[in-house]
Amino acid sequence: MEFPLTTTEVVMCIKTLSLEISEHTHERQTLVCVGTAITRGGEDLPTQGRILVFNVIDVVPEPERPETAHKLKLIAQAEVKGAVTALSEIGTQGFLLAAQGQKCIVRGLKEDGSLLPVAFMDMQCYTTVAKGLKGTGMCLMGDAVKGVWFAGYYEDPYQLRLFGKSTSHLEVLAGDFLPDGKNLYLVVADADSNIHVFQFDPEHPKSQTGHLLLPLSTFHTASFPTTLTLLPSSAPSPQSILLTSTTGSLSLLTPLSPATHRTLTALQSHLQTTLPHPLGLNPRAFRSAGEGEGGMGMGMGMGAGGAGGRGEG
């Protein structure tokens, strides 16, 4: 399946999303959404972008080539100012959240093939991540300079409202939500190979009624995380986040109860002090994220296990 782009157009992001395709029947369909950037020579020529929405249709395959039985059909597109760097589904109506230039805009797919903007938020700089929490209007956004943004989308009236932000600057590479019971955590990866865990808690005095996201934990991974994806779960199992990295490793980040966290922390400390460290390596310093956002000692543990069998409490 192929779709030609313009000469200077490059794909910045691609997602498979469930969007509403009819304003009358409210029918939803799984579609392929692509965000692009169109660059032109010269410092005085701004970057443009396009949002392309495709449907995968069945066609008659070519002789002896069964893989050609599908085709991309363009059903909607929009030319926008600025590169389209992140896409996500948002809300309960099947709308599209697109990061374009220095704005994040919620758009609705119309039957005439247009993408109608209904709400927006100024991001002020390059947006790297946009993730909506399925079934809600909550969304996580991350940028290349200022860090993590937690916002909510309202449908009556249409608006995108900021709830809270991180307290220090981070170059966010990936991120996603991690719900755990009545608690809501936001997990992001930065350009220094660190994983940061934040909590939205308006009742905590240090959150300034929710305007600041509470930093709970930070640990080093020694590799650049490329994606963070919230995995579906069935009760009573907790939800987990799947991490992929540039080294090809897969890890799972799972919330732990305070009792389990204390037990594993005690075991980890015992092993670090009793077992020899090959080549004089320091496991404590390896997981330390250095200066920046650190944990606040709020009694919440995160367990992570790598695909190679390595884990950390």
CA distance linking residue 240 with residue 34, whole number of Å:
27
The dihedral through the CA atoms of 199, 200, 202, 203 has a sign that is: negative
Evaluate if residue 185 carries a pLDDT over 90: yes
| Residue 93 vs residues 107, 136, 160, 191, 219: alpha-carbon distances, Å | 11, 10, 14, 34, 37
Percentage of residues in the chain with pLDDT exceeding 90?
46
Nearest CA-CA partner of 89 in 156, 30, 142: 30
Mean per-residue pLDDT for 130-157? 90
CB 93 within 8 A of CB 155: yes
pLDDT of residue 35: 95
pLDDT of residue 69: 87
Mean per-residue pLDDT for 29-39? 93
CA atoms within 13 A of residue 81's CA, in its CB half-sphere: 4
Mean per-residue pLDDT for 80-92? 92
Return the SS3 of 308: coil
Q: What is the pLDDT of residues 263-307, one digit of tens each?
A: 998 998 898 889 888 887 888 887 777 654 444 433 344 444 433
179: tokens are 């719900």
Evaluate if residue 308 carries a pLDDT over 50: no
Q: What domains, with CATH codes, occur in the chain?
A: 1-40+47-165 (2.130.10.10), 170-271+283-308 (no CATH)
CA distance linking residue 243 with residue 245, whole number of Å:
7
Query: Which residue stretches of 4-117 are H helix?
Result: none
Mean per-residue pLDDT for 192-217? 90
Torsion angle of alpha carbons 204, 210, 212, 214, nearest 10°?
A: 40
pLDDT of residue 293: 45
267-286 core/surface letters (b: 16 or more CB in 10 A; e: else): ebeeeeeeeeeeeeeeeeee
pLDDT of residue 242: 93
Q: What is the pLDDT of residues 119-139, one digit of tens each?
A: 999 988 899 999 999 888 899
pLDDT of residue 244: 93
pLDDT of residue 310: 34
pTM of the entire structure?
Answer: 0.83
